[in-house]
Amino acid sequence: MNTALWVAQGFVALVVALTGSTKLLLPREQLAHKMHWAATWPRWRIKLLGFSEVAGAVGLVLPTATGIAPVLTPIAALCLAALMAGAIPTHRRLGEGFLPALLVGVLCLGVAAGRVVSLHAGG
C-alpha cells in the first residue's frame, strides 16, 4: 500500500506543482489562452491559487518523506481535494474538460485516507 500511496502522491504533486507554477509565473493574459477562467479572475487570485497548488504539492510529499509532522500530508491532500472540488464546476461551467480535476481530487482523497490509516498503523 505504501508504494501505491507514493506513486499517487508523486503524480498529484507533479501535476499540481506544474499547474501551480504556471499560474505563478505566467501573466494572466497568457494563461487565459488555455485557462479561460483566468480572463475573469483578478491577478492576485490567480497567483494565490498557484501558490496554494505549489504549497499543496510540497505538503503532499515533504512531511511523509522527512518524517517531520507526517500528519500534514493527509491535510495537504484534503486541501488539494477541496481545490479540485472547486475546479470541477468551474471547468464544467466553461465547457472545459473537468476529468483531470476529478482524477486529481479522487487521488487526493485516496492519499488522505491511506496516509491517515498509515499514521494510525504506526508507519
CA pair distance 109, 37, nearest whole angstrom: 25
Domain boundaries, the chain: 2-121
| pLDDT tens sequence across 9-36 | 999 999 999 999 999 999 999 999 988 8
Counting as low any pLDDT under 70, the low residues of the chain are 123
CA pair distance 101, 103, nearest whole angstrom: 5
CA pair distance 98, 82, nearest whole angstrom: 14
Q: How far is CA 94 from the centre of its chain?
A: 20
State the pTM of this model. Answer: 0.92
